[in-house]
Structure 1
Amino acid sequence: MPALNWHAIDTVLLDMDGTLLDLHFDNHFWMEHLPQRYAELHGVSRALAQMELQPLFERNAGQLQWYCLDFWSTELNIPVRELKLETAHLIALRPDADTFLAAIKQAGKRVVLITNAHRDSLSLKLERIELAPYFQRLISSHDYGFPKEDPQFWAALQADIHFDPARSLFIDDTLPILRSARDFGVGHLLAVKNPDSKKGPKDTAEFAAVDDYRDLIAGL
């Protein structure tokens, strides 16, 4: 990973899940816990539950409703918020993410959280991990009505917080989102090498990736 030119960065835009928080919580919930509880609540086998859920997941991936707890509660006829509480003990900070956040805040950078997470998901995580004090703003894509994959999200973000894309750093673990940010003109982009602690490193394609947050602090 090349060293960052911090003198050319005024604003730091940070994703939450998989970037600051371990993606294991979300992967476990959507891929394991929710299918199991769906099967139990609807009186079907786990295999049948998976067969019913998979096409729904694939059809909605990358769209705003994919991240919306209200949508899934209605679509699946199950209390998704309450089910998330059952696995909330798995919510965890990625190693040294707080060290990085403290350092960039101390350096005087403008730090903004931008997440596709539904406000209820955001609140659940902020109750367990003290992230809010590091940020000037905490923005959910649901506030704008467009996911971060959509160019209209970035236009809405700029109209809201008046940031200079060329002098901004954005870190995210999702490649389509990074490409959307690049298309908008965000000048400094980093992927995340290992967003889920229970899985191996991921291919970050054309993007340089952060593996250790302590490495990013050099030159601040």
Structure 2
Amino acid sequence: MLVWQEIDTVMLDMDGTLLDLNFDNHFWQEFVPLRYAQLHNISLESAKQTLAPRFRAMEGQLEWYCLDYWSADLQLDIAGLKQELAGLIAVHPHVTEFLDAVRRSGKRLLLVTNAHRHSLNLKMEKTCLQIFFDAIICSHDFGLAKEQPGFWQVLQDTHVYDKQHTLLVDDSAAVLRSAQNFGIAHLVAITRPDSRGALKQITEFAAIEDFRALMPGLA
């Protein structure tokens, strides 16, 4: 799938790419509505109906990923709630094998995530994946989500990389389109970001179910 000799920098998303998106999906779709329902003394179904349009309105914007924003908006301790569910945080199969192979190949390895710093730190604490990366980039530090115009230029200004020799692996089509528009040459999507979810049918980008598909030729 990839000509590894053409790639110097490997950029990887976190949630849904390296980590099982089941944690985040369960958190936002079930756990937060449950606590919101308890706070307002309403049914779980009513809470879900109330929250769903508010969540959709923020998709693709930095606020969607900001725990401080949702804590204030929902009057819930979102960071604390995430800590309660931290036992569900899990690394996808074959991720550490791939990360180790990239490190041994001598290529630069960057984690590029929209996750809020608190969520990022919690997940690194639970998985210890930070040891593999040359740098960890949080979009909140730039004030732009990865989906937004300008993010990839700011990233290039702060962590210089050659667009023609960079690989990005992400589970979000919107993020991959944004990177494509900027000119990043090598783009790969994830077809099963949530281990309990259905396989996504992706035709717009090269796509893999797990990282074993990218291992051939990586040396």
Q: TM-score, normalised by structure 2?
A: 0.98
Moved over 4 A (4+): none
The CA distance in 1 between the partners of 2:203 and 2:40, in whole Å, is 40
- Larger mean Cα displacement after TM superposition, 197-206 or 30-39: 197-206
Q: CA deviation at 1:215?
A: 2.4
One-letter identity of the residue aligned with 2:15: D
| Partner residue of 1:94 out of 87, 92, 95 | 92
| Partner residue of 2:69 out of 68, 71, 85 | 71
Q: 2:190·2:210 contact (CA, 8 Å) conserved in 1?
A: no
Residues 175-190 of structure 1 mapped to structure 2, 5 A cutoff: 175-190=173-188
The CA distance in 1 between the partners of 2:125 and 2:93, in whole Å, is 19
Q: 2:33·2:47 contact (CA, 8 Å) conserved in 1?
A: yes
Percent identity among equivalent residues? 50
Q: CA deviation at 1:171?
A: 0.2
The CA distance in 2 between the partners of 1:185 and 1:130, in whole Å, is 31
- Larger mean Cα displacement after TM superposition, 203-212 or 128-137: 203-212
- Quote the RMSD (CA, aligned, Å): 0.8
How far does the alpha carbon of each residue in 1:134-171 deviate from its partner, in whole angstroms, 9 at most, with x for none? 10110110010000001211010000011001100000
Does the alignment pair 1:38 with 2:36?
A: yes
Q: Which residue of 2 aligns with 1:23?
A: 21
One-letter identity of the residue aligned with 2:96: D
The CA distance in 2 between the partners of 1:69 and 1:201, in whole Å, is 28
Q: CA deviation at 1:50?
A: 1.3
| Partner residue of 1:162 out of 160, 163, 174 | 160
Q: Secondary structure at the match of 1:138?
A: strand
Q: CA deviation at 1:205?
A: 3.1
- The count of aligned residue pairs is 218
One-letter identity of the residue aligned with 1:75: D
Residues 68-217 of structure 1 mapped to structure 2, 5 A cutoff: 68-217=66-215
One-letter identity of the residue aligned with 1:24: N
Q: TM-score, normalised by structure 1?
A: 0.97
One-letter identity of the residue aligned with 1:143: D
How far does the alpha carbon of each residue in 1:66-123 deviate from its partner, in whole angstroms, 9 at most, with x for none? 0000000000001101111121111000000010000001100000000000000000
Q: CA deviation at 1:43?
A: 1.6
One-letter identity of the residue aligned with 1:181: A
- Larger mean Cα displacement after TM superposition, 46-55 or 175-184: 46-55
Q: 2:99·2:132 contact (CA, 8 Å) conserved in 1?
A: yes
